[in-house]
A and B are shown apart, each in its own frame.
Chain A
């Protein structure tokens, strides 16, 4: 084709939604992400592996049968009255070492002056349980009656297990990681490669560039949240008791707040090394303090107000309340307010500091 032809043909209008710069920027961002195998692994596969691993390791087994030892057949007889105790009779030396090595939770021996000595470690929950069960069966075998009749009725409720605690934690961690990393790396990489400078030299509206991050993030969010919650529900029956609209609102707000933090972190940095360092420094305290894997209540009371102000704590607390208790929007309003605050402050600061080159 001659160039004259190319110049006359040059007015081909690019019609349709897909030719809009914002659509193109978003599509491109999305493609760049899904063509990065490591990113796919960290965002989608890793949380599921973690949830599966921890869910299995900490699953609530049906009330465990506790192993206990007795040094005489008569005592063994008395203890075996309780179905929750697995009793064995061991000669004194063997019983001694079994107790020390933790192969039995408790050792029952006749006391020289009459009665029974129960030996166990009271720091070990199994030891304390065994003490209660053993004491009870020995007294019953000796003829103690129950003044009040008790009836057991068992409930196994989804929502109170470790996996139920864990899935909202992992979801919050994932929202934070993918938003901050996604924003930080992409922006600094484009700046480092002078691609950002090249884009700024075109008539591209600059707010479209930033908006495309938000849109591609929201697209990915659907997949990310869907995959993790779907896995939790399918594999472990983790409930989502609150309404879908509140869940969507919470995830979007959380993602936007973390996105704003990511934007702020990336606003001036020139190298990938520097931005990874800053991102880790920002996220590390939240991984530890915000109650991803264990309740943040374990930290001293003094720091609790500070921990509650962290965006990850807010997201996770709200997710747990929503999923496990079915909390309404009004009930998680304080957390939503904290997230909005972070979003607004970081976004304003980022716009002030941002460098296009």
Chain B
């Protein structure tokens, strides 16, 4: 098996006047879980569907498992596991019937019952798809992606719209697939999902990749370790000038009624902040801090947030 499971070079795709993907390079190594993280409309689905052979790019090269869509489409389809962002499986069929159908398309793959076991839907095997919960439907979609024992799995926003419990359950499953040696490419706009599941992440914005690395590398790369958010309930607005002059504070912005500081050293920044508030005689009405996340990386790179709150 090649070292690279997927290679995309200078990929471009436009829909009339919208450039969905504009000059994207990607490389996914065999055996890793790679994440495409980006806000709505970043071009994640367009990219992944080009890799899946569902959309033809305007230009650029795509090499999947060392093969090419133009010459080896059928061979590739046998080896890919795909979950689309918005497929609704037939509601009138049962879980087992659905898996049996998908299994029939592949030369090899687990027995349908075993496939259902992989996503822990055993007790629902004879239920109609229409009667499954959102999380169960998503797990069924995952089972369909596994029906051909794929070498490379594409998951497009596997947990969007699910409640926290269902998301965690899905994360556990995806982690298990990782350990079974499969390569996974997933898209998400949840930074916690990317941090938890992905070995490497490409942050996408407006059709291109603006950062690439392990979640840890990306967080370190922006030079901020922590984020401090505070609110001050004084009668007059706080004069933020002196705060910005402190060398331990990198950036300051107003966000949801809080003032948000990107900070390199928490142990110096917080006392300095408190001292400054005291000097201006402003009360502190809220204070929270967290270690920097991929969300903060995105904010640092684009000045925008991943999701509109």
Contact = CB atoms under 8 A, between A and B. Distances in A.
A99 B116 CA distance: 79
B88 A6 contact: no
Contacts, number: 103
Given A6-B114, A10-B109, A10-B110, A201 B77 contact: yes
Interface string A176-205: 000000000000001001110110111110
19 contacts: A3-B118, A3-B176, A3-B180, A9-B110, A11-B109, A14-B103, A19-B103, A24-B104, A28-B93, A31-B93, A32-B90, A195-B89, A197-B84, A197-B87, A198-B87, A201-B53, A201-B77, A202-B82, A203-B74
* A interface, over-half SS: helix
A202 B102 contact: yes
Contact of B149 (A4, A10, A19): A10
A203 B105 contact: yes
Contact of B114 (A9, A19, A204): A9
A123 B128 CA distance: 61
A277 interface: no
A28 B90 CA distance: 9
A119 B89 CA distance: 72
B100 interface: yes
Interface of B: 52-54, 74, 77-78, 80, 82, 84, 86-90, 92-93, 97, 100-111, 114, 117-118, 144, 148-149, 176-177, 179-181
Contact of B87 (A6, A11, A21, A194): A194
A151 to B, nearest CB: 65
B101 A12 contact: no
Nearest to B89: A195
B106 A28 contact: no
A144 interface: no
A43 to B, nearest CB: 16
A201 to B, nearest CB: 5
B110 A13 contact: no
Contacts of B106: 202-203
B180 A6 contact: yes
A271 to B, nearest CB: 14
A9 B109 CA distance: 8
A198 B49 CA distance: 11
A35 B177 CA distance: 35
A195 B84 CA distance: 9
A27 B100 CA distance: 11
Contacts of A32: 90, 92-93
Contacts of A198: 82, 84, 87, 89, 144
Interface range on chain A (Cβ under 8 Å from partner): 35 or more
Nearest to A208: B105
Contacts of B110: 6, 9-10, 12
Contacts of A9: 110-111, 114
Residue among A7, A9, A19, A203 with max Cβ neighbours from chain B (10 Å): A203
Given A14-B103, A24-B104, A203-B105, A1 B82 contact: no
A308 interface: no
Nearest to A23: B104
A314 B180 CA distance: 61
B180 A195 contact: no
Interface in A14-56: 14, 19-21, 23-25, 27-28, 31-32, 35-36
A241 interface: no
Given A14-B104, A202-B102, 13 more contacts: A3-B118, A11-B149, A19-B104, A27-B97, A28-B93, A31-B97, A194-B86, A198-B89, A201-B52, A202-B82, A202-B105, A202-B148, A203-B74
A202 B77 contact: yes
B54 A197 contact: yes
Contacts of A140: none
Contacts of B53: 201
Nearest to B176: A3
Contacts of B118: 1, 3, 6
A31 B86 CA distance: 23
A268 interface: no
Given A198-B82, A357-B54, A24 B100 contact: yes
A36 to B, nearest CB: 7
Interface string A144-177: 0000000000000000000000000000000000
Nearest to A7: B180
Contacts of B177: 3
Nearest to A194: B87
Contact of B88 (A21, A193, A357): A193
A333 B226 CA distance: 84
Contact of A195 (B78, B87, B117): B87
A24 B102 CA distance: 9
A142 to B, nearest CB: 77
Contacts of A7: 149, 180-181
A36 B92 contact: yes
A67 B52 CA distance: 81
Contacts of B97: 27-28, 31
**Which 3 A-B pairs rank lowest in CB-CB distance, beginning with the nearest?**
A3-B180, A10-B149, A193-B88
Contact of B101 (A6, A28, A203): A28
B111 A203 contact: no
Contacts of B114: 1, 6, 9, 12
Nearest to A13: B108
Contacts of A190: 90
B6 to A, nearest CB: 16
B120 to A, nearest CB: 11
A6 B149 CA distance: 9
